[in-house]
Amino acid sequence: METINVQIRKTAGNEDLPLPGYMSGQAAGMDLFAAVTVEETILPGGRKKIPTGIVISLPEGYEAQIRPRSGLALHQGVTLLNAPGTIDADYRGEVALIVVNFGEAPFVVKRGERLAQMVVQKICRVRWVESARLDETPRGDGGFGHT
């Protein structure tokens, strides 16, 4: 498996939080932690922007995707809006999460809680080539439940 170096900085006051980390040897995503200074309550149907306490510098040609954690979604109905979120290689602001509570009970975000995961991916640029005719496939234009 390929490994890349990515620069990271903790924001002021978040030196106590762990860096994003893989929770198993073959995990694709690194857990991100809540950098709240006080507990934040998200009511059912509500959403809040939650800081992670990190700023990253991805190499050119990479992006970081921010994804929900399945356990929170299943057990509490808590997930992320704008998922997956994209952190571009030229973004230097704090990584933050838009957490939404689709559950039936208030959800309390505690400092250091694992709220999301981050997957770093290679990207490519697209150069569009207009064509009057596209190659044919067995599926054709079947979509929206066609297969």
The CATH number of residue 14's host domain is 2.70.40.10
List the beta strands (DSSP E) in the chain. Answer: 7-10, 30-33, 40-42, 47-51, 54-57, 62-68, 78-80, 85-87, 96-101, 107-109, 114-122
Residue 128 lies in a domain: no
pLDDT band at 147 (very low <50, low <70, confident <90, very high): low
Tell me what pLDDT residue 42 has.
Answer: 98
Tell me, yes or no, whether 20 lies in a domain: yes
Q: Is residue 83 part of a domain?
A: yes
Q: Give the number of residues written for the chain.
A: 147
* pLDDT above 80 (res 17): yes
Confidence of residue 145 (pLDDT cuts 50, 70, 90): confident
C-beta of residue 10 within 8 angstroms of C-beta of residue 28: no
Is residue 127 one of the residues assigned to a domain? no
Number of neighbours of residue 33 by Cβ within 10 angstroms:
23
Query: Does any domain span residue 37?
Result: yes
